Amino acid sequence: MNFSHAFLIANTLALLSWLLLAFLPRYLVLLAGLRYGIISAFAVVYTGVVAVFFFRIEGGGFNTLQEVKNLMAADAGAFAGWVHYLAFDLFVGLWIAENADRIKLHRVLQFPILFATFMFGPLGLLLFYCVDTGLKRIGGKK
């Protein structure tokens, strides 16, 4: 498997997905396409790479930092890890976008949160939690 080519495809698909999420109206068909199409595709690719390659990586495992480093040093491990990030970050971004729409957070204010999630995963989630909590406190809800 050419992991460099697969990496380019996955990155392009992720970037396009984030652009759609950030800038297009959030119609149910778009949200379903991201959730059940793109994220599911990432999950299938991840599962396939793990099933075929992970247990062949010399010294790889999850019990020690060195074993994880060995996994990530291999192309298959690094690609699988990256697709894992892409899938979960997009899932969290979708969750944030849907909840931000539900609380009527303006899309201009959503953008930096979604960008932070795209680039730094948990930071974007933390930002959304802070905004959501702040809005609840301002609105008198706890």
Phi, psi of 2 (to 5 degrees): -90, 95
**Does residue 140 surpass a pLDDT of 80?**
no
Q: How many domains does the chain have?
A: 1
Is this prediction's pTM over 0.75? yes
CB-CB contact of 34 with 20 (8 Å): yes
Q: What is the pLDDT of residue 31?
A: 97
pLDDT tens-digit readout, 7-23: 999 999 999 999 999 99
Per-residue model confidence (pLDDT) at position 139: 73
pLDDT at 43 over 80: yes
Tell me the residue range of the domain where 79 lies. 3-138
- At 141 the pLDDT is 61
pLDDT, position 74: 95
Tell me the torsion sign for CA atoms 41, 66, 122, 9: negative
Residue-wise pLDDT tens digits, 94-136: 999 999 999 999 999 999 999 999 999 999 999 999 999 998 8
